[in-house]
Structure 1
Amino acid sequence: MIKSLAHIGLRTRNLSAASTFYQSLGFESQRQLDVRDESGTIAVEFLQHQGVVLELYQLPWQTAVREEQDSGLDHLAWHVADLTAAETWVKSLGYPLVEGPCDHPAGSRYFMIAGPDGERVEFLQPLNR
Protein backbone atom coordinates (compact mmCIF):
# COMPACT_ATOMS: atom_id res chain seq x y z
CA MET A 1 0.00 0.00 0.00
CA ILE A 2 1.01 3.63 -0.42
CA LYS A 3 2.76 5.10 2.62
CA SER A 4 3.77 8.57 1.44
CA LEU A 5 4.96 10.59 -1.51
CA ALA A 6 8.39 9.37 -2.67
CA HIS A 7 9.23 12.19 -5.09
CA ILE A 8 7.85 14.38 -7.86
CA GLY A 9 9.35 13.73 -11.30
CA LEU A 10 9.56 16.74 -13.59
CA ARG A 11 10.81 16.48 -17.16
CA THR A 12 12.62 19.65 -18.17
CA ARG A 13 14.00 21.18 -21.36
CA ASN A 14 16.94 22.69 -19.47
CA LEU A 15 18.13 20.94 -16.31
CA SER A 16 20.35 23.81 -15.25
CA ALA A 17 17.56 26.41 -15.55
CA ALA A 18 15.07 24.19 -13.72
CA SER A 19 17.57 23.46 -10.96
CA THR A 20 18.35 27.16 -10.53
CA PHE A 21 14.62 27.98 -10.40
CA TYR A 22 13.79 25.41 -7.73
CA GLN A 23 16.92 26.19 -5.70
CA SER A 24 15.80 29.84 -5.63
CA LEU A 25 12.59 28.58 -3.98
CA GLY A 26 14.56 26.85 -1.22
CA PHE A 27 15.32 23.41 -2.67
CA GLU A 28 18.82 22.04 -2.22
CA SER A 29 20.57 19.83 -4.73
CA GLN A 30 21.11 16.36 -3.26
CA ARG A 31 22.49 14.30 -6.12
CA GLN A 32 23.20 14.51 -9.85
CA LEU A 33 23.64 11.56 -12.17
CA ASP A 34 23.56 10.51 -15.78
CA VAL A 35 21.40 7.57 -16.84
CA ARG A 36 22.34 5.87 -20.09
CA ASP A 37 19.81 4.11 -22.31
CA GLU A 38 19.65 3.23 -26.01
CA SER A 39 18.63 6.81 -26.91
CA GLY A 40 21.48 8.56 -25.14
CA THR A 41 22.23 10.02 -21.74
CA ILE A 42 19.46 11.33 -19.51
CA ALA A 43 20.71 13.97 -17.05
CA VAL A 44 19.04 13.66 -13.63
CA GLU A 45 19.17 15.83 -10.52
CA PHE A 46 17.42 15.26 -7.19
CA LEU A 47 16.56 18.29 -5.05
CA GLN A 48 14.98 18.38 -1.60
CA HIS A 49 13.12 20.89 0.56
CA GLN A 50 11.50 20.04 3.90
CA GLY A 51 11.10 16.38 3.02
CA VAL A 52 9.78 16.97 -0.52
CA VAL A 53 12.00 15.51 -3.24
CA LEU A 54 11.98 16.73 -6.84
CA GLU A 55 13.55 14.57 -9.52
CA LEU A 56 14.42 16.82 -12.45
CA TYR A 57 15.45 15.09 -15.66
CA GLN A 58 16.39 16.19 -19.17
CA LEU A 59 15.97 13.83 -22.11
CA PRO A 60 18.74 13.64 -24.73
CA TRP A 61 16.54 14.13 -27.79
CA GLN A 62 14.74 17.29 -28.89
CA THR A 63 11.45 15.74 -30.06
CA ALA A 64 10.56 14.45 -26.60
CA VAL A 65 10.24 17.94 -25.07
CA ARG A 66 7.04 18.47 -23.11
CA GLU A 67 5.09 21.33 -24.63
CA GLU A 68 3.47 23.71 -22.17
CA GLN A 69 -0.08 22.75 -23.16
CA ASP A 70 0.47 18.97 -23.22
CA SER A 71 -0.94 16.70 -20.57
CA GLY A 72 1.27 15.82 -17.66
CA LEU A 73 2.22 17.62 -14.50
CA ASP A 74 0.19 20.81 -14.29
CA HIS A 75 1.30 22.33 -11.00
CA LEU A 76 3.03 21.83 -7.68
CA ALA A 77 1.29 23.25 -4.62
CA TRP A 78 2.99 24.37 -1.41
CA HIS A 79 1.30 25.30 1.87
CA VAL A 80 2.46 28.62 3.31
CA ALA A 81 1.73 30.24 6.66
CA ASP A 82 1.53 33.78 5.24
CA LEU A 83 0.42 34.18 1.63
CA THR A 84 1.21 37.90 1.53
CA ALA A 85 4.78 37.26 2.69
CA ALA A 86 5.12 34.45 0.13
CA GLU A 87 3.94 36.78 -2.63
CA THR A 88 6.47 39.42 -1.60
CA TRP A 89 9.22 36.78 -1.55
CA VAL A 90 8.56 35.29 -5.02
CA LYS A 91 8.24 38.77 -6.53
CA SER A 92 11.59 39.69 -4.96
CA LEU A 93 13.05 36.70 -6.81
CA GLY A 94 11.74 38.17 -10.07
CA TYR A 95 8.88 35.72 -10.66
CA PRO A 96 5.62 37.40 -11.69
CA LEU A 97 2.28 35.96 -10.63
CA VAL A 98 0.37 34.19 -13.42
CA GLU A 99 -2.79 33.67 -11.38
CA GLY A 100 -4.24 35.16 -8.20
CA PRO A 101 -4.03 35.82 -5.44
CA CYS A 102 -7.60 34.65 -5.15
CA ASP A 103 -9.85 32.46 -3.03
CA HIS A 104 -10.47 28.83 -3.90
CA PRO A 105 -13.86 27.26 -3.11
CA ALA A 106 -12.08 24.44 -1.25
CA GLY A 107 -11.17 26.90 1.50
CA SER A 108 -7.83 28.44 0.65
CA ARG A 109 -6.34 31.58 -0.82
CA TYR A 110 -3.62 31.08 -3.42
CA PHE A 111 -1.49 32.45 -6.24
CA MET A 112 0.61 30.79 -8.94
CA ILE A 113 3.89 31.51 -10.68
CA ALA A 114 5.29 29.85 -13.82
CA GLY A 115 8.11 27.32 -13.74
CA PRO A 116 10.68 27.13 -16.52
CA ASP A 117 8.92 24.28 -18.36
CA GLY A 118 5.31 25.49 -18.34
CA GLU A 119 4.40 23.94 -15.00
CA ARG A 120 2.68 26.21 -12.52
CA VAL A 121 3.88 26.56 -8.94
CA GLU A 122 1.08 27.27 -6.47
CA PHE A 123 1.40 28.82 -3.03
CA LEU A 124 -1.67 28.45 -0.82
CA GLN A 125 -2.82 29.38 2.64
CA PRO A 126 -5.86 27.68 4.16
CA LEU A 127 -8.61 30.11 5.14
CA ASN A 128 -9.95 30.07 8.67
CA ARG A 129 -13.67 29.55 8.36
Structure 2
Amino acid sequence: MIKNTPSGIAHVAIPTDDPELTVSFYENLGFNRLVDHGVRGMLQCQTCVIEYYPRRQEEKPAGCIDHIALTCEHLDEAYEEILAQGHQIITNGIESNEMFAPRTNRFFLFKGPNGEKIEFCKIDE
Protein backbone atom coordinates (compact mmCIF):
# COMPACT_ATOMS: atom_id res chain seq x y z
CA MET A 1 0.00 0.00 0.00
CA ILE A 2 1.28 3.47 -0.82
CA LYS A 3 2.18 5.84 2.03
CA ASN A 4 0.96 9.01 0.30
CA THR A 5 -2.74 8.19 0.19
CA PRO A 6 -5.43 10.50 -1.21
CA SER A 7 -7.37 12.65 1.25
CA GLY A 8 -10.68 12.79 -0.61
CA ILE A 9 -12.49 13.01 -3.92
CA ALA A 10 -11.55 16.18 -5.80
CA HIS A 11 -14.12 15.83 -8.59
CA VAL A 12 -15.86 13.51 -11.03
CA ALA A 13 -15.39 14.35 -14.74
CA ILE A 14 -18.23 14.12 -17.28
CA PRO A 15 -17.73 14.70 -21.03
CA THR A 16 -20.66 16.46 -22.69
CA ASP A 17 -21.95 17.42 -26.13
CA ASP A 18 -24.01 20.28 -24.65
CA PRO A 19 -22.20 22.26 -21.92
CA GLU A 20 -25.10 24.73 -21.47
CA LEU A 21 -27.59 21.91 -20.91
CA THR A 22 -25.17 20.19 -18.51
CA VAL A 23 -24.68 23.36 -16.46
CA SER A 24 -28.41 24.08 -16.41
CA PHE A 25 -29.20 20.51 -15.32
CA TYR A 26 -26.75 20.53 -12.42
CA GLU A 27 -27.65 24.09 -11.38
CA ASN A 28 -31.23 22.84 -11.09
CA LEU A 29 -29.91 20.19 -8.67
CA GLY A 30 -28.32 22.91 -6.50
CA PHE A 31 -24.84 23.15 -8.02
CA ASN A 32 -23.10 26.51 -8.50
CA ARG A 33 -20.38 27.47 -10.97
CA LEU A 34 -17.02 27.00 -9.29
CA VAL A 35 -14.93 27.46 -12.46
CA ASP A 36 -16.45 28.72 -15.71
CA HIS A 37 -14.41 28.59 -18.92
CA GLY A 38 -17.41 28.50 -21.24
CA VAL A 39 -17.49 25.01 -22.73
CA ARG A 40 -15.60 23.57 -19.76
CA GLY A 41 -15.68 24.19 -16.06
CA MET A 42 -16.55 22.88 -12.65
CA LEU A 43 -19.78 22.91 -10.70
CA GLN A 44 -20.01 22.53 -6.93
CA CYS A 45 -22.74 21.61 -4.45
CA GLN A 46 -21.33 21.55 -0.93
CA THR A 47 -18.41 19.06 -1.08
CA CYS A 48 -19.43 17.51 -4.43
CA VAL A 49 -17.62 18.82 -7.53
CA ILE A 50 -18.35 17.90 -11.15
CA GLU A 51 -16.02 18.81 -14.01
CA TYR A 52 -17.58 19.11 -17.47
CA TYR A 53 -15.88 19.54 -20.83
CA PRO A 54 -16.51 18.86 -24.53
CA ARG A 55 -16.53 15.20 -25.44
CA ARG A 56 -13.88 14.03 -27.85
CA GLN A 57 -16.00 12.02 -30.28
CA GLU A 58 -13.50 9.25 -30.88
CA GLU A 59 -12.62 8.73 -27.23
CA LYS A 60 -15.50 9.18 -24.82
CA PRO A 61 -19.23 8.66 -24.85
CA ALA A 62 -21.14 11.74 -23.68
CA GLY A 63 -22.47 11.59 -20.15
CA CYS A 64 -20.22 8.76 -18.97
CA ILE A 65 -17.84 9.36 -16.11
CA ASP A 66 -14.37 9.83 -17.57
CA HIS A 67 -12.26 9.78 -14.41
CA ILE A 68 -12.32 10.05 -10.64
CA ALA A 69 -9.96 12.70 -9.26
CA LEU A 70 -8.58 12.29 -5.76
CA THR A 71 -6.81 15.05 -3.85
CA CYS A 72 -3.30 14.18 -2.73
CA GLU A 73 -1.15 16.41 -0.52
CA HIS A 74 2.15 14.71 -1.42
CA LEU A 75 1.65 14.40 -5.17
CA ASP A 76 5.28 13.88 -6.21
CA GLU A 77 5.82 11.12 -3.66
CA ALA A 78 2.52 9.44 -4.56
CA TYR A 79 3.48 9.51 -8.25
CA GLU A 80 6.74 7.69 -7.48
CA GLU A 81 4.87 5.08 -5.41
CA ILE A 82 2.24 4.46 -8.10
CA LEU A 83 4.97 4.20 -10.73
CA ALA A 84 6.98 1.78 -8.57
CA GLN A 85 3.93 -0.46 -8.19
CA GLY A 86 3.78 -0.82 -11.97
CA HIS A 87 0.47 0.94 -12.59
CA GLN A 88 -0.05 2.23 -16.12
CA ILE A 89 0.47 6.01 -16.06
CA ILE A 90 -1.61 7.60 -18.84
CA THR A 91 -0.37 11.19 -18.54
CA ASN A 92 3.04 12.51 -19.45
CA GLY A 93 4.26 12.21 -15.87
CA ILE A 94 2.91 14.89 -13.56
CA GLU A 95 1.17 17.48 -15.70
CA SER A 96 -0.35 20.85 -14.85
CA ASN A 97 -3.01 23.22 -16.09
CA GLU A 98 -4.46 26.60 -15.18
CA MET A 99 -8.02 25.43 -14.38
CA PHE A 100 -7.82 27.29 -11.05
CA ALA A 101 -5.63 30.21 -12.20
CA PRO A 102 -3.73 31.91 -10.75
CA ARG A 103 -3.17 28.70 -8.80
CA THR A 104 -1.72 25.71 -10.65
CA ASN A 105 -3.50 22.36 -10.79
CA ARG A 106 -0.92 19.53 -10.82
CA PHE A 107 -2.06 15.98 -11.55
CA PHE A 108 -1.34 12.56 -13.00
CA LEU A 109 -3.66 9.82 -14.21
CA PHE A 110 -3.29 6.06 -14.14
CA LYS A 111 -5.50 3.09 -14.95
CA GLY A 112 -7.38 1.13 -12.33
CA PRO A 113 -7.96 -2.62 -12.51
CA ASN A 114 -11.17 -2.24 -14.56
CA GLY A 115 -9.80 0.27 -17.04
CA GLU A 116 -11.12 3.24 -15.05
CA LYS A 117 -8.96 6.34 -14.94
CA ILE A 118 -7.80 7.55 -11.54
CA GLU A 119 -6.39 11.05 -11.13
CA PHE A 120 -4.30 12.20 -8.19
CA CYS A 121 -4.24 16.00 -8.05
CA LYS A 122 -3.08 18.93 -5.96
CA ILE A 123 -3.84 22.62 -6.38
CA ASP A 124 -0.70 24.58 -5.58
CA GLU A 125 -1.06 27.95 -3.90
TM-score range, shorter chain: 0.3 to 0.5
Q: Give the structure, 1 or 2, with the largest relative contact order (CA under 8 Å, sep 6 or more).
A: 2
Query: TM-score when scaled to structure 1?
Result: 0.43
Query: TM-score when scaled to structure 2?
Result: 0.44
- The structure with the greater share of residues assigned to strand is 1
